[in-house]
Amino acid sequence: MDQITHAATQPVVHTVSGSLRGLRDGAANVFRGIPYAAAPVGELRWRAPRPFPAWTSVREATEFGPAAPQAGPADVADIVSIGGAPEPTSEDCLTLNIWTPIDTTRPAPVMVWLHGGSNRMGAGSLPFYDGGAFARDGVVLVSVNYRLGQFGFFAHPALTAEAPVDEPLGNQGLLDQIAALEWVRAHIAAFGGDAANITLFGESAGGLDILALMTTSQASGLFHKVIVQSGGGWLPATPLKTAYQRGLATAAAIGLTNADAGALRAVPSASLTAVESAFGPVIDGRLLDQDPISAFANGDFTDVPMMIGVNSGEDSLLNYGGGLKRFGQLIKPNAKLAKLYPEAAGDEEQLIRLGFRDFGFAAPARWVASRPRRAKAWLYAFDYVEETRRDAMLRASHAAEIFHVFEALDHRPDDPPPATVADRAISTAIHARWVDFAKTGSPGADWPVYRPADDAWMVFNETPGGEVRRGWWKAPLDHHGRKGGLLILLLRIRDRLRTLFSAKVA
């Protein structure tokens, strides 16, 4: 049936849950702040998401929903400048936003965006995630808010004691993402989208979460292609025991040393947000029964077409949170490293930065792309710095590709000088690659499928559309690949021992 009523400025869509009134914005009909799950507050704090009840009257969908409660590194005064969301924030944050083409003659491909922010900050409503360019080019774009930080990746023995035996633990953010994908599958046809052609894409923590979702059966069938932007691939998930330790430390920090679940749920959200910790997927034996790294090594992942890549300046992440000092202790700027990076010889800081980029992002991305699979994978490196920024920047910083993917150069949070004609040409070409992948399952005939023997990268530089380079960063990536191999072996042994121990206890 015809589910969208095309009014001049206020389109109405009729879904199985109820009708929504959006707005016309340029070449898109936009529907904002759509609830895809019940508010995770009160007794539902830290529980798996519950369905949002259907409604009967037309629901307004012209305003974004609030972002999840969040906090950034202690040494960053304004997290909005690094991709955090401004107020208002609320625990009642499980909403999504949809940009859909105004005129569609057939179901359009769908792209679902998971924002980055270390799983502790960000929102799908940020202006540089505007989906208007995708809708203009015939794609339905969905952006998602999900629980973050202490609300999205929190485990505590008191919560486990009251949880149903099959309910996942410590992975509330991942469960929200799954619930959003289930909602999209059930509702997107009403917006002109093709529920059988969904591309899941995300950056940084969003990309990392996608890799985790690819290894859990609960997300199987909810997406058909993936794009992982700066998601790495070798950041280990958190064992449940470690997640418990973090949860107990958080409770102790707010004065709850022997807390029950009720006492934890009564803590004001601001008190929880203020407690520093680390956040990410948890190996709970229910949603994730092994580390996603082990799963990829074992071939236990959803085998769908994939684009995966890295930026040449991922080391910009070291500029806050004490990152440079912390990783300088792990990545020793020695003679071996200097030989791998002759362009940085004699500059210890640059050696640390390049080592961080390659071990943390580039080498694992190449490793993920090289996993034996039936579906195809494509590997990229984003190495373009806007013309007006080249005096201050050596390389393309972490998250810099987002503004090109979304054609959002005018919405950067750091308020740079206006983009040039050349900058916009690069954006147009890169955006087209993402659109082509969503529509056809390939980013272009000139971009070779990744095979380890060929080691072909698409390098996005000053050449619009990119340039195929073989053996990009080969010597350092081979070196870090050998180190990564040891990490992978240790994680697989750990997961095997956990499985054997669990079976013995059972």
Would you state the structure tokens that stand for residue 444, as one six-digit string? 């272009």
Q: How far apart are CA 293 and CA 340, in angstroms?
A: 26
Q: What is the pLDDT of residue 5?
A: 64
- In angstroms, the CA 15 to CA 268 distance is 35
d(CA 59, CA 13): 10
Cβ–Cβ < 8 Å for 340, 259 = no
DSSP letter at 362?
Answer: I
* Catalytic residue from among 204, 230, 312, 316: 204
Question: SS3 string of 133-190?
Answer: HHHHCCCEEEEECCCCHHHHCCCCHHHHHHCCCCCCCCCHHHHHHHHHHHHHHHHHHH
- And the tokens for 61? 């969908």
Task: Tell me the β-bridge partners of 59.
Answer: 20
- CA–CA separation, 34 and 56 (whole Å): 15
Report the chain (506 residues): mean pLDDT per 10 consecutive residues: 62 96 95 98 98 97 98 90 94 98 90 98 97 98 98 98 96 98 98 98 98 98 98 95 97 93 96 95 97 97 98 95 85 87 91 95 98 97 93 92 97 88 96 98 98 98 96 96 93 87 54
Select which of 115, 398, 404, 479 is catalytic.
398
Q: How far is CA 243 from CA 146, 301, 456, in A?
A: 19, 23, 39
Which residue among the candidates 314, 386, 401, 407 is catalytic per the annotation? 314
Verify whether residue 398 is a known catalytic residue.
Answer: yes
Catalytic: 348? Answer: no
What is the predicted pLDDT for the residue at 194?
98
Of the candidates 204, 188, 205, 208, which has an alpha carbon nearest to the alpha carbon of residue 196?
188
How confident is the model at residue 391, as a pLDDT? 82
CA atoms within 13 A on the CB side of 4: 28
Enclosing H/E stretch for 419: none
Residue 496 has a CB neighbour count (10 Å cut-off) of: 13
pLDDT of residue 321: 83
Cα–Cα distance measured from residue 212 to residue 317, given in angstroms and rounded to the nearest whole number: 22
Q: Where are the domains of the chain?
A: 4-313+375-473
Predicted structure pTM score: 0.96
What span, in angstroms and rounded, lies between the C-alpha atoms of 248 and 36? 30
Q: Quote the pLDDT of residue 361.
A: 97
CATH class assigned to 4-313+375-473: alpha beta
Cα dihedral 450/455/461/462 (nearest 10): -100
Q: What is the CA radius of gyration of the chain?
A: 22
Q: Is 314 a catalytic residue?
A: yes
Neighbours of 275 (CB within 10 A): 17
